[in-house]
Structure 1
Amino acid sequence: MNRNILSSTVQSFIRRHAQENASSIALKKSPFTAVSSSELAQQISGRQKVSIKIPTWLEQGKPLYFPEKLNLEQCSSAKTGKFKASLLSPSRRLLDVTGGFGVDSYYFAQRAKGVIHCEINAELSQIVAHNFQELEVDNVQFHTGDGLTFLTSSNERYDYIYTDPSRRVKNQKVFRLEDCEPNILAYQSLFFEHSDILLTKLAPLLDISGALNVLPQVKDVYVISIDNDCKELLFVQEKSFQGIPTIHAVRLSTDEPQIFSFTYTQEKESVPVMGEPRSFLYDPDVAITKAGAFKSVATAFGLQKLHPHSHLYTSDNFVSEFPGRVFQVQQVIPFSVFKKNVAIAKANIIAKNFPLKVDDIRKKFKIKDGGEAYLYFTTLFDDRHVVLYGIKHMLA
């Protein structure tokens, strides 16, 4: 950590060039003898990422220090950090075994009595400690070193143990739980010796069912999305829990989290009604589809499903609580008719359970992207291929 970066003159330079391309800064000669151009580029690039992920950190105008790009890629956003912190009981103690850039520790500290942030990368640990001092967070202790080694030598118990294993090993992305670092499957006994509740953040591409097969005592799984983009999975394990896990599809696009909860037993037993497209078309948020609530979301909201594998829903009356996008259906066009007679120059195209992909549809029919019209190319319950022309519902 180069503390010369924290000087007022260097900080002023970083703020003045905050919107510039960091790569161009790296190619220019640095105006400072103690700070290289590559270090300036790293700070500018990091500031840009933090302005998107955790904008409130920059609002105070404090001289924060930003680590290498890789350390910022896996860190949580403000929205996901706040949500995870809301799951904690207040005034408890939490151990963050894999602290990283500290975003989750920061938000846990807003609710917890105290947080211990462990980070094996000495420079990154130093950076986080500096930033937290600037951000006036005074209930976080920092341990520079391997969090697992710290836990092994500890005689204390914690209300929560949090881990966020790295999904990049030897510069390669990994998606299986056992391939992450650390391999938390090998330390389950150690974790439960020191806490009754384990919180584990995992990659959004991880197979949920596969993780449930290898992680013991999972009580809850949170599938968290922002703007229809699945950001992360959170597994909550409780030492005494022996029941069926509850799956929560969490949509953070609105002011208040929108949560749809179900179990895989409920999903298996749900028998939604199949039906023709009606006045409203419902396209579920990615949190719903990643969670696997294909049938239970239909029965919960009283919707009909267009096809067992299309994962599109319909109703005569508008359901405002639906977790996803809602469209007013203007026209249902048989695909055979669309191929011959329909000429639409511009539209948003979605293909679900349909033989053609979106790019193929655009090329075939010369339809430009954008506009207010939405065209859903899909298959109905009797295997008819149709095109649903709709516009977004104003209150959806």
Structure 2
Amino acid sequence: MKLPGGLKALHYYNFRLYFSGQAISLIGTWMQRIAVNWLVYTVTHSAFMLGLVAFAGQIPMLILSPYAGAFVDRHSRYRTLLVTQIASMVQAGLLALIVLTGFYNIPAIIFLSVLLGVINAFDTPARQSLMIVLVENKGDLPNAIALNSSMVTLARLIGPALAGILLSSFGEGVCFLVNFLSFIAVILSLLLMKIKVPERKKHTEPIWKGLVEGFNYMKKHRGISSAIGLMALTSLIVMPYSNLFPVFAQTIFKGNVTTFSWLNSISGLGALFGAIYMTTIKPGKSLLRIIVLSSLLLSVSLMFFAYSHSLLAALIFILVGESGMLAQIAATNTYVQTNVDEHMRGRVISYYVMAFQGMQPIGSLLVGWSAHAGSAQATVFLEGLAGVVIALLFIPALKRVKRMSLEKQLHRNN
């Protein structure tokens, strides 16, 4: 059966397995994220503790991502992904066990968050680097990335909604248990793949040399380094705003776990709209332009969200802002993956992962401290304002990249 153009990557058997398995697993992952945030804020009533737990879960990405990228370039991406998914399942099982039995405290949650962060530092570059193998034809890679983003954001929509129902009815432990069980789907999908694992060239030089090579490669490719640089600053300053959702739900809008669930679900819906838009992008469309415009859309929306007087208005601004956030993430990922040389893929993607996820822990800690010392509303407004300034400052750099690309193309034609 011929698939529509927006679904062409699903033509590949291995990608269909990956897509379906990850879709189920990520719903569980988002349920766990929501339940952890709600549990921490319910126990501590501290915006700073929300930031601290987020910091603990994401800081390994900042520290380990470059090493993990070099590791992925030296070893089987498929086997690395299989191991990290099994390890993630064990982490979710431990979290479910201590909460359901009542033997938990904030230090234990922080420890398990750090453990998951270490696992994800290796999981993300392995998963992103495997994409080109799953679709086989590089021309279908942008569609696969866009479909993957759509799947992730659909999970962001469904996961928080289910978490809200289970949190109000059964508590946090059940959410963690569902996440534990959801890993069965992704592990099974990996085992069923008919995948030809590429032979990896044996490396004798120290792994740190690979890290330096990846960094030098990025420096020479200004488009890649500029896109990753903008992502890093956006992740550091703007994206951590969602850690304050429990504060907005309970303190600003005087709501409960249902209000918290709405804030998270509507952000997932907005991200889904952004992902759907990215599936419609035709070859030749300027991804760098999309990156800057979507960053501006996210930042301006946050400024309006910060001082919204009604929940409905807040939900609308989150919807619009998250669509911009997803478009920036997907456009950056697509630009990097379609412009990087294959032998450098794992290392360069690890720097992208470090920019996207590794910078957020520092931002989460700063945002949590700022909201604790001042107010959540003022903090989010300043995040949005800073995001606007950052995006505008990157416009000249991205224009230079576009001009250099045109000059190279003219040179080749001559």
Q: TM-score category by the smaller chain? A: under 0.3
Bigger helix fraction: 2
What TM-score, normalized by structure 1, do the two folds share? 0.22
TM-score for the superposition, normalised by structure 2: 0.22
Larger Rg: 1
Higher relative contact order (CA 8 A, sep 6+): 2
